Chains A and B, each alone.
Chain A
Amino acid sequence: MDLRKIVDNLKPTFSKGGKLSFLASTFDAFETFLFVPNTTTAHGAHIRDCNDMKRTMIVVVLALVPAFLFGCYNTGLQVNLTGWTAFFYGLVRILPMLATSYIVGLAIEFAFAQSRGHEVNEGFLVSGFIIPLIMPISTPLWMVALGTAFAVVFGKEVFGGTGMNVFNPAILARAFVFFAYTPQMSGETVWFSTWKMMGAQDAVTGATALEQLSSNGAMQWSALDAFLGFIPGSFGETSTLCILIGGAILLIAGIASWKTMLSVFVGGIAMAYFLGDVCGMFSYPAYYHLLVGGFAFGAVFMATDPVTSAQTSTGKYIVGFMTGALAIFIRLCNPAYPEGMMLSILFMNALAPLVDYFVVQANINRRLARAKK
């Protein structure tokens, strides 16, 4: 069976003038998934680098896998399961959320691509994977669906699609769910799975590490546990170790900017040190803040989003540092909610173009000054 022949036979039906030509973008998405197109260079450089958007996005997905796998295990662990049972419990628990986010998001993406006559962008492969990873595990599926739909339509497509968006779609989905359904999305039960299967029991502990730090000034886990990820929290955010493995993949592949990533951590630790050791707002070690909550996940996978973060090198340092610093500032100075990473990233997404504006303006001014000489 020659797959290429099958595709070639189907192609006329979906091409201009064919019966299903209104599905051209969808067909193209599947065709280019199976086969790199035979398009050759028409203008400009006759040869091209073999990297494309598909590969770029798939590497990011790959980098998320360690955090995803650990999330499966930890979800089971938090309801007192162990070993493979814990892992499969978590896997079964997350798959519906993952499916929901992909089905809803991709359906909207395909529909928009179709109506615009564009090719389908690969960006949502990453967003769709991140969305369930940053949701509390007991988020109802309809909320995941609604959050995803809101993020894709109002976060991305209204701006023109991938590459044009102001806000990171995944963090927008999380923010939408958080603000639209605050009662359901806060409190102590939301972080644990309530599905009684495979022998799962009710969670013993009530609050996340961050909530404990915020209210008691201490947490019941050791820093090592927090680093390895054996703590409650959103599905993929708990293991700093697995997130750093993902971060290493992104940095080695050269896909995420080390400038942003490093700056976020530096900004975070600097602010935590300032508020803790200098201002005395808390007495536990400042570095705890990098280990708990969504800080590491945000720093590695979301603050580094090339589209919504700063687009200039200098801007990346500034926006990265401010993202980290602001996240800790919100954590410690906002009495209502212990986490600050989500709001910090959103805020800096909005501010990044302004930072870029000044960096680019500096370049323009250099050029003007030179002309006057």
Chain B
Amino acid sequence: MSKIIKLSKGLDIRLEGEAQKSITDVALASQYAVSPLDFENLVPKMLVKVGDKVKAGSSLFFDKNCPAIVFPSPVSGTVSAVNRGEKRRILSVVIDADQDQQYESFDMVDPKVASRDDIVCLLLKSGLWTLLVQRPYGVLAQPADMPKAIFVSAFDTAPLAPCYNFIMESEKEALQKGFQVLSRLTSGKVHLGYNAKCEAPSFEGVELHAFQGKHPAGNVGVQIHHICPISKGEKVWTMNYQDVAILGRFFLTGKVDLHRTIALAGSSVKNPSYYRIISGIKTDAVLSGQLKEDHVRVISGDVLTGRKLQYSDFIGLKANMLTVIPEGDTYEFMGWAMPRFKKFSVSRAYFSWLCPKKKYTLDTNLNGGVRPFVVTGLYEKYLPMDIYPMHLLKAIIAEDIDKMESLGIYEVIEEDIALCEFVDPSKIEMQQILRNGINALIKEGE
């Protein structure tokens, strides 16, 4: 039993609409899609065209930066649309699903004995390589790299996040297989961070680390910082816990089976609970009849870091939850002077600190105007790392690459500073600024 890493900084935002612990199987929907928008720094190039027949696991498009990385179709069917946005940027590749699902076949290898190259090759072909994320930068892992270590977090502390212990209960075998594959991909160890309040998971070939604390204690980036922080020039990989099971399932069955259990949560959902879906499903298959109101925001992911969707959009390929909250595009009379008992603030300038157990229904209103940085010492309280977030963000705004490096930009991605953005009374778009900084670094490195 390793010692518990206790994090005192952070915040659990208590929201209405937590998913109840029951899983509904969602029947095969008519349409699925893969969106390149879920991957940072990806330049998609199509491998299929509208009308092509594909199987589950067939490649849909590849990354121009690294042509070996291909993206798998979640289902078998016919490519029915390639949706494009400004500058012909690909938004999603839509597949009309067949009733009878067929799977692409691969020459499987045994991860225990096969060479690392063979495993990498198989992962690339199957498209499941795209489940690997590289730190720094939070981008797709590069096949040519040998990561120092691989990190997985076995719990998610974001608001309304799914309980992995519940949804992964029946996936133990797949998880074990997945970890076995991961352990072959790194020269170092596979680290698994788990919630100290829960029972320690038991998998072979992983090093366990217990974490205790509020959000973002479950963020893999925070865990890396406390286990073995990333310095300049180093690369580690991360994978989501449920994705490890998908990876393992592939090696157990030989099929690219993108079934996953997602949480449908949020205050605008009638019966928040869990759904068993195939990744990339059109959201109305899950949402129909489930919304309390019309004017809502559907988010692929959690409320702090997710991607905004339309009602009949497609859930992200790697999303583990769908959150629905009310839109907040209304005016509030003298809001800044009101007691605002129904709103939440970490500042005791309002009263939510008097009822710490209360759950809130929060909308998408910005709750104020954008201002320069004024308040100091606040942001540090919500980032459990030895990093000065305001100084880092200012370095990014000043486009000072050296300063960004020395202040620790390699150790954070958007999700890690999302809480700082949430609490910020100056309403600065920190996640966007951080991504701009990361992109500047990637460009500098090219």
Contact = CB atoms under 8 A, between A and B. Distances in A.
A360 B332 CA distance: 40
A48 interface: yes
Interface in A32-74: 32-56, 58-59
A45 to B, nearest CB: 5
A49 B366 contact: no
B167 to A, nearest CB: 23
Nearest to B406: A364
Contact of B388 (A36, A56, A161, A363): A363
Interface stretch (B92-100, B245-253, B421-429): B421-429
Given A54-B336, A55-B349, A39 B365 contact: yes
A56 B375 contact: yes
Which of A52, A59, A122, A367 has the most C-beta atoms of chain B within 10 angstroms of its own C-beta?
A52
A56 B349 CA distance: 7
B231 interface: yes
A33 B336 CA distance: 8
A199 B276 CA distance: 83
A123 interface: yes
B417 to A, nearest CB: 9
A180 to B, nearest CB: 29
B304 A46 contact: yes
A4 B331 contact: yes
B362 interface: yes
B327 interface: yes
Contacts, number: 218
A368 B375 contact: no
A172 B347 CA distance: 29
B89 to A, nearest CB: 16
Interface in A230-255: 252-255
A40 B368 contact: no
A119 B344 CA distance: 25
B431 interface: yes
B232 interface: yes
B306 A53 contact: no
B297 A46 contact: yes
B242 to A, nearest CB: 22
B289 interface: no
B369 interface: yes
A13 interface: no
B85 interface: no
- Chain B binding surface SS class: loop
B424 A49 contact: yes
Nearest to B336: A54
B231 A367 contact: yes
A101 to B, nearest CB: 20
Contact of A40 (B329, B334, B414): B329
A367 B233 CA distance: 13
B29 interface: no
B24 to A, nearest CB: 25
B303 A46 contact: yes
Contacts of A54: 336, 368
A95 interface: no
A259 B380 CA distance: 14
B422 A3 contact: no
Interface stretch (A15-23, A281-289, A308-316): A308-316
A48 B427 contact: yes
Nearest to A47: B362
A353 B410 CA distance: 25
Which of A49, A255, A307 has its CB near the most chain B CB atoms (within 10 A)? Answer: A49
B308 A52 contact: no
Nearest to A43: B432
A55 to B, nearest CB: 5
A54 B336 CA distance: 6
A112 to B, nearest CB: 13
A37 B343 contact: no
A223 to B, nearest CB: 32
Contacts of A255: 347, 349, 375
Nearest to A56: B425
Interface in A5-35: 32-35
Given A161-B372, A316-B377, A51 B349 contact: yes
A119 B426 CA distance: 12
A35 B369 contact: no
A119 B26 CA distance: 48
Nearest to A306: B376
A33 B335 CA distance: 9
Contact of B331 (A35, A46, A50, A370): A35
A54 to B, nearest CB: 4
Contacts of B344: 49-50
A119 B370 contact: yes
B305 interface: yes
A40 B295 CA distance: 13
A75 interface: no
B72 to A, nearest CB: 28
Interface string B356-399: 00000011111111111111110010000011101100000000
Nearest to B340: A50
A311 B390 contact: yes
Contacts of A306: 374-377
B265 interface: no
B369 A52 contact: yes
In this complex, which of A44, A307, A363 has the most chain B Cβ atoms within 10 angstroms of its Cβ? A44
Given A47-B13, A49-B346, A307-B374, A368 B336 contact: no
A59 B339 CA distance: 12
A354 interface: no
Given A51-B347, A55-B347, A367-B231, A36 B371 contact: no
16 contacts: A40-B366, A42-B429, A49-B422, A51-B349, A51-B423, A55-B336, A55-B368, A56-B347, A119-B369, A160-B372, A162-B374, A254-B349, A255-B347, A311-B391, A360-B407, A363-B387
Interface of A: 3-4, 32-56, 58-59, 119, 121-123, 160-164, 252-255, 257, 259, 306-307, 309-313, 316, 360, 363-364, 366-368, 370-371
Given A39-B369, A312-B388, 20 more contacts: A4-B331, A4-B333, A34-B333, A35-B333, A38-B365, A39-B365, A40-B363, A47-B15, A47-B363, A47-B422, A48-B366, A50-B350, A51-B345, A51-B347, A52-B369, A55-B350, A55-B368, A253-B347, A254-B347, A307-B376
